[in-house]
Amino acid sequence: MASIVFTLASTEILGNTGYIMSFAILAIFIIVGIVFDVVGIAVTAASEAPFNSMATRRQRGAAESLRLIKNANKVTCYCNDVIGDVTGIVSGTTAALIAARLMDGFNTESLLFPVLISAIVTGLTVGGKAIGKTLAFNKSTEIVLSVGRMLNIVRIMPFSGQEKAEKQEKAEKQEKSEKQEKAIKQEKPDVKDEADKDNE
pLDDT along the chain (200 residues), means of 10: 63 71 90 94 94 91 93 92 87 87 84 89 93 95 95 84 56 71 65 50
Name the domain count of the chain: 2
Instruction: Indicate if 32 and 78 belong to the same structural domain.
Output: yes
Instruction: Indicate if 106 and 195 belong to the same structural domain.
Output: no
pLDDT tens column, 103-149 = 888 888 888 888 999 999 999 999 999 999 999 999 999 999 999 99
Per-residue pLDDT at 17: 72
CA dihedral 149, 153, 158, 163 (to 10 degrees): 100
Instruction: Indicate if 103 and 174 belong to the same structural domain.
Output: no
Instruction: Indicate if 193 and 150 belong to the same structural domain.
Output: no
Q: Do 151 and 158 contact (CB within 8 A), yes or no? A: yes
Instruction: Indicate if 84 and 94 belong to the same structural domain.
Output: yes
Which residue range forms the structural domain that includes residue 176?
A: 160-200
Instruction: Indicate if 122 and 169 belong to the same structural domain.
Output: no
**Rounded to 5, what percent of the chain is helix, strand, coil?**
85, 0, 15
Per-residue pLDDT at 19: 81
Indicate the DSSP class of residue 81. Answer: I
Per-residue pLDDT at 43: 96
Distance from C-alpha of 29 to C-alpha of 89, rounded to nearest angstrom = 10
Instruction: Indicate if 179 and 140 belong to the same structural domain.
Output: no
Instruction: Indicate if 130 and 43 belong to the same structural domain.
Output: yes
Instruction: Indicate if 36 and 23 belong to the same structural domain.
Output: yes
Instruction: Indicate if 41 and 59 belong to the same structural domain.
Output: yes
Instruction: Indicate if 30 and 103 belong to the same structural domain.
Output: yes
Distance from C-alpha of 40 to C-alpha of 72, rounded to nearest angstrom = 8
Per-residue pLDDT at 168: 59
Per-residue pLDDT at 191: 47
Amino acid letter, 119: A
Q: Which helix (H) or strand (E) holds 166?
A: helix 160-199
Buried/exposed 35-49: b ≥16 CB within 10 Å, e otherwise: bbbbbbbbbbbbeee
